[in-house]
Amino acid sequence: MKQIVLASNNAKKLVELSALLAPLGFELTPQGQLGVPEAEEPFGTFVENALTKARHASRLTGLPALADDSGICVRALGGAPGVHSARYAGEPKSDQRNNDKLLQELAHETDRRAHYVCLLVFVRHADDPQPLIAEGEWHGEILPAPRGEGGFGYDPLFLLPSLGKTVAELPAAEKNTLSHRGQALQKLLARIQDAV
């Protein structure tokens, strides 16, 4: 197994990405297990934040690194919460408070279209001049109340009209296939095998 450091300590993200990478012979190790603190995410774009996180994890471990910056963009809110999705309701991070804030912000909106975005960045080493970058989007709409027990983040509010289900109502394997993260990773996988 080839070891890659995951520039995240999100346990659910680790499970999701590990399931997709394991069949190709890659073992993801979360940065926290290697003593790497979280990187600052000062930028206004997903790609800049993901690249910063990947370089940070790689620099401190000497390993190739994979970073994900993802969030939800709501049309009626001008793309918010966007890069601030994980901390939309402030610190400490809380899915419940983030969901409550989103519902409050959309209380008087009729346009509830939204999409998840995932930007994956893979660096072979900290100063990699040609990082591998892949993006995925998953379109849906925001429900007025949560449904389902699975997933994380905004999944209980994110309805997939074509399926009539929220992301939180999907089995994990189906979510991994359809999701913004799954789409981005599929684009990255073909290139990552040749890169490591």
Task: Kindly give the confidence (pLDDT) of every residue in the chain, 196 residues in length, as a single tens digit, with 9 standing for 90 and above.
Answer: 689 999 988 887 888 788 878 888 889 999 999 999 989 888 999 999 999 999 999 999 999 999 999 999 999 999 999 999 999 999 998 999 999 999 999 999 999 999 999 999 999 999 999 999 999 999 999 999 999 998 889 999 999 999 999 999 999 889 888 999 889 988 998 787 776 6
129-144: pLDDT as tens digits: 999 999 999 999 999 9
> Is 53 known to sit in a ligand binding site?
no
The response to whether 153 counts as a known ligand-binding position is yes
The two three-digit tokens of residue 177, written as one number: 């296939």
Distance CA 23, CA 105 (A): 41
Query: Which residue, chain included where needed, has tokens 């994900």?
Result: 68
Is 180 known as a binding-site position?
yes
d(CA 97, CA 86): 10
- Tell me whether residue 128 is one of the annotated catalytic residues: no
| Beta strands at 26-30 and 2-6: parallel, antiparallel or unpaired | parallel
Q: pTM of the full predicted structure?
A: 0.88
Q: What is the pLDDT at residue 195? A: 67
Residue 124 assigned to a binding site: no
* Cα 188–chain centre separation: 14
Residue of 69, 100, 111, 127 marked active site: 69
